[in-house]
Amino acid sequence: MTADIHKKQRVMWPKPGESSPGGGALFPFAGSVASVEALQRILSDLTRGVLHPGAKLKVRELIERYGISATPLREALAQLAARGLVLVEDRKGFRVPPVSLEQLQDLSQSRVIVEGEALRLAIAHGDAAWEGEVLSNLHQLRREIERRDSASQEWLDAYERQHHRFHKALLAACPLHSLKDFCDNLYIQMTRYRRLLKELGFSAAAGNGAHEPIVEATLARRGDEAVPLLREHITIPVRAIREYLEKNGTGVPLR
């Protein structure tokens, strides 16, 4: 038995280059160790639907769940709030933002506009390395789809991660960083809705057929062909949800 058991318990600090071993960070969040750790886990629970839309985020509960204290937790929540990923009311605390068809439409339409332009710029500026990354990510996405196992939470997570990577790779050559960051934020916000669709019985890889033509037109530098295809792809969730609502009456899962 070592003596340091009685030391004040704290989060461990990673060694300088120890953060994310498997390639560049997927999420663009920065901050202190405990803070980003909490942020990632909250975000993961948000998108996976563990934290339900509209639910209250009680600091005490989160502190226990993530094993950290109030300061880094609030830091994480503040950062998520700034990106519209959690709601904050003064002196009423934080909550999971409700989901609605209106918001989904808002996110989709904005993404159609912005990500369309971003792709156009990427096509105009991309080099061979970018082309390679796009192809590589399309390949890995296909492989992920092949080993599909809809029942498995792990597979869903892995698929979603690779899908995210693929879309990032498409835009990587766009020289406007602020525009890319905004696209990424919209993508992350839409993740909750994609997951929701899967719960409603839609295939996890419904719009997967669209990826190949998008890549083909993109690498052939045919922007006028690629951009509309990407836009179609982006609006799949809205159309699917609308379809569902028409069949099953007004908003069971959407409030």
13 binds DNA (CB under 7 A): yes
54 binds its own copies, rule: CB under 8 A: no
Q: Hey, what are 174's tokens? A: 């766009």
Q: How far is the CB of 182 from its own copies (least distance, A)?
A: 5
Among 39, 42, 51, 68, binds DNA (CB under 7 A): 68
CA distance 93 to 58: 7
Residues 102-131 that bind its own copies (CB under 8 A): 106-107, 109-110, 113-114, 117
- Give the one entry of DNA, its own copies, none that residue 78 binds, where binding means its C-beta sits below a cut-off of 5 to 8 angstroms depending on kind: its own copies
Interacting positions 78-117 with DNA (CB under 7 A): 88-94
CA 86 to the chain's CA centroid? 14
Distance of CA 149 to the CA centre of its chain: 20
- The CA distance from 253 to 75, in Å, is 30
Q: How far is the CB of 19 from its own copies (least distance, A)?
A: 8
DSSP-derived 3-state class of residue 225: helix
C-alpha angle 197-151-62 in degrees, rounded to nearest 5: 70
In whole angstroms, how close is the CB of 34 to its own copies at the nearest point? 11
- Helix (H) and strand (E) counts in the chain: 10, 3
Site for DNA in 180-239 (CB under 7 A): none
Q: Which residues of this protein are in contact with DNA, per CB under 7 A? A: 7-13, 16, 32-35, 56-60, 67-72, 74-75, 88-94
